[in-house]
Structure 1
Amino acid sequence: MDTERSTAGDGPAIAEQDTMALAEQRAAEGRTDDAPLGVPGRPLNRRSPYMVGLLGAFGVATTYAVVLLVSAAREVLILIGLALFLAIGLDPFVRRLGRVMSRGLAVLTVTVVMLGIVAGFLAAAIPPLVTQSTNLAHDLPSYISQLRDHSSFAGHLNEQYHIQSRVEQMISGDNGGNLVGGVLGAGQVVLGAFGSTGTVLVLTIYFLADLPRIRQLIYRMVPNSRRPRAMLIGDEMFAKVGAFVLGNLATSLIAGVGTFVWLEIFGVPYPLLLAILVALLDLVPIVGSTIGGIIVSLIALSVSVPVAIATAVFYVVFRLAEDYLLVPKIMGKAVEVPATVTFVAVLVGGAILGIVGALVAIPIAAAVRLLLQETVFPRLDRT
């Protein structure tokens, strides 16, 4: 009697052991040299109501998680995108040097040259910048007295637009803050800017060294039948980005040098400080040089009204020369975007990502235009 109960109780356990042994035997038989992990079984029925609901819920949850992740890492992603943008712009130099040396040595050479230019520029610019900034702080009371003088041109502007009260409000703050708080806030901004600049610089060097592997990874995600076509279009997009970066740096350098020479000729104060400001603002397409010209023209009012008017005319002429002579000559047809698309792209990019968005808007618009012309429009024309 007890033996029968024991045998009946052990029945499920013995059946389970037999089932696992049979599964292990089949797994050993299914392992071959061509498929060491076995051959995949039949796919699940994706049309079943359960699978449709499961995949739909998983897709919604994944999309929501990606949106939260992008929102939380927005600032870091902007720095990564900017570094990749600069790496693509510097890649033509690396490839040219790569014809006579290894890519690692070419990246090192470009990095050393780039850091040397930045260091030399800072060494030459910081002493006069400090001097001119000190002079600006010293002359600030006289500018304030000119604003209070209702008989002067600056006084009329102050009376009409309340410039002094707006400046005092910005310095004091809306919540009862003081100048010390403003200085501390400015210090935090400066430290944050230096930290972001260092991060972008390091990432640019890494991306520049690994750009061939990054390119291969991007193209590997395209189906094999369409991969050659994707390579041709992608390489053309990279070329447009590189041409824009190099051309934008060249035009900004010309804008800064032209500003410095003009201000030196007419004796406008703080020429180097304003030249650097104009060169940095000119990096932002369309609106950058205009804002820089307005600021310099207002500073030129401290010399005389005719000099300020002449300075404004100089920037109008320079803007026309930049749009119709410099940009076509330097960039050629590499970045071929209509004026309307350029303006809209800069506005949208600036609204989404600020200065960085306005900076990368034109090459992105050029890449999207190329993609539409080569893939979307021909397909629509055939339908």
Structure 2
Amino acid sequence: MMFSRRAAATLPAPEDTTSPGSTAPEGTTSPRSTAPELHIRAFRVGFVGALGVLLALFLGVIVGQLSTVILYVALAIFLALGLDPVVSWLQRRGMPRWTAILIVFAVVIGVFVALIAVIVPIVVGQVTTTINNWPEIVRDFKNSDFVAWVGSFSGSSWVEDTAATIGSWLGNPNNIGVLTGGLFAVGAGIAGGLTGATIVLILTLYFLISLESMERYAARFVPASSRAGFIDVGQDITGAVGRYVIGQLTLGAVNGVLSLIYLTIIGAPAPILLAFIAFLCSLVPLVGTLTGAVIISLVCLAASPATGVAAAIYYLIYMQVESYVISPRIMNKAVAVPGALVVIAAVAGGTLGGVLGALVAIPIAASLIIIVHKVVFPRQDAA
């Protein structure tokens, strides 16, 4: 019996004697019958995969086309979360929510209009004065203390060479079109910026009005057993974002006001415009104040070496005071984020999303810390 079993095991398999036109006996399957099914499944999988790739590319194109709209919506939500703590503070003082929203938004629009009314005439006036008095400006620049101070190190011939180069460039008719196109592009950019700011303000008002209903609808997507914890964490996150926005605006306002006072005292050119630049730059964490200080110091240096040096010394002192005194007192109450994580979040956000990414990176980091402390750690401790 063992010999017969081994012999049967070594015998070759019988050939398939089924003719092409015949069918296999009932209860048996032919190897050839599975090939079409495998072919159809492979084609189906490949076709569905190709459709998925095309859909992903299509969605990517749509997101790219709507990037500006997405930016407006994200900025409006960010500002609405920043204004909500002020509205809540007025509500706790016995004021209805709609009244508090109207007051806060009226103040925001008033500040926005006041800034435009003050800054735009200064910019237009400076540009008009520069165009009308260009020869006098060049002559005064050649005879300025800054040119004499630089010429004492590198010689004065570079001034004449630079002026001659600029004059020959302006005298070339082919460059007038480039210059005009650049001016039109700047004008279009300013008009687009004002339009975008108006859209963001309108969206901010809508989001601020419907913020509570948005939170309720978001909670409906969570199971009822976890809804209370979701609402608690969501309120902590929105509160952290709002406090961060208010803290950053406070830092910018402090820098802007102090810059206006000091630049007016030292006689800097267009101190209101330079103070506004300091305010805007201070809104960007970490590198914003330094960037504004460099820009303002260079403008003051072009007007007078003494003014430039005075501005540079002031901003060196101010940055130390802001880093070690003002910022810790304001931001530690706003968001409890470790210093190393602040640096990492700001750098990563600026790399991925530019200025807006740097602005939202720190509140996102604070939100993640809240989620870890209130969701992840309790689950790990209960396991």
* TM-score, normalization by structure 2: 0.73
Taking structure 1 as reference, are residues 59 and 128 closer, same or farther at Cα in structure 2, changes over 3 Å only?
closer
1:69 to 62, 65, 80: 62
Does 1:345 pair with 2:342?
no
The structural deviation recorded for 1:79 is 0.8
Q: Residues of 2 paired with 1:335 and 1:164: CA distance?
A: 52
1:174-199: CA deviations, max 9, x gaps?
A: x9652101101111111111111111
Residue matched to 1:323? 323
Contact 2:266 2:310 in 1 (8 A): no
Deviation at 1:168, TM superposition (A): 9.8
Q: What is the alpha-carbon distance in structure 1 between the residues aligned to residue 143 and residue 347 of structure 2?
A: 36
What amino acid maps onto 1:116 in structure 2? G
Whole-angstrom CA distance in 2 between matches of 1:291 and 1:339: 20
Worse-superposed segment, 122-131 or 225-234: 122-131
2:279 aligned with 1:273: no
For residues 91-127 of structure 1, give each alpha carbon's deviation from its aligned partner in whole angstroms, at most 9, with x where no partner exists: 1122233343332232222222221222234444544
> How far does residue 348 in structure 1 lie from its aligned partner after superposition?
2.3
Whether the 8 Å contact between 1:297 and 1:312 is mirrored in structure 2 is: yes
When Rg is computed on C-alpha atoms for both structures, the one with the higher figure is 2
Aligned residues: 332
Backbone CA RMSD of aligned residues: 3.8
The answer to whether the 8 A contact 2:260-2:274 is kept is: yes
For 1:141, the equivalent position in structure 2 comes to 138
* 2:150 aligned with 1:153: yes
Q: Which 5+ residue runs of structure 2 have no aligned equivalent?
A: 1-40
2:74 is aligned to: 81
The corresponding residue for 1:40 is: none
Residues 207/312 of structure 1: CA separation in 2 closer, same or farther (3 Å cut) = same
Deviation sequence 1:16-41 (CA, Å, 0-9, x none): xxxxxxxxxxxxxxxxxxxxxxxxxx
Secondary structure at 1:275 match in 2: helix
Following superposition of structure 1 onto structure 2, how do residues 1-383 of structure 1 map, counting pairs within 5 Å? Answer: 66-99=59-92, 100-135=94-129, 138=133, 140-142=137-139, 145=142, 152-153=149-150, 177-376=177-376
Moved more, 292-301 or 344-353: 344-353
Partner of 2:20: none
Residues 144 and 164 in structure 1, CA contact (< 8 A), matched pair in contact too: no
* SS at structure 2 position matched to 1:371: helix
Please state whether the residue corresponding to 2:333 is helix, strand or coil.
coil
Aligned equivalents of 1:185, 1:155: Cα separation in 2: 39
- CA-CA distance at 1:249 after TM superposition: 1.1
Over the matched positions of the two proteins, sequence identity in percent amounts to 33
Shift of 1:232: 1.5
TM-aligned CA distance change 1:151 to 1:132, over 3 Å: closer
Q: Is the 8 A contact 1:243 1:335 kept in 2?
A: yes
Letter in 2 for 1:323: S
Alignment match, 1:35: none
Any unmatched runs of 5+ in structure 1?
Answer: 1-48
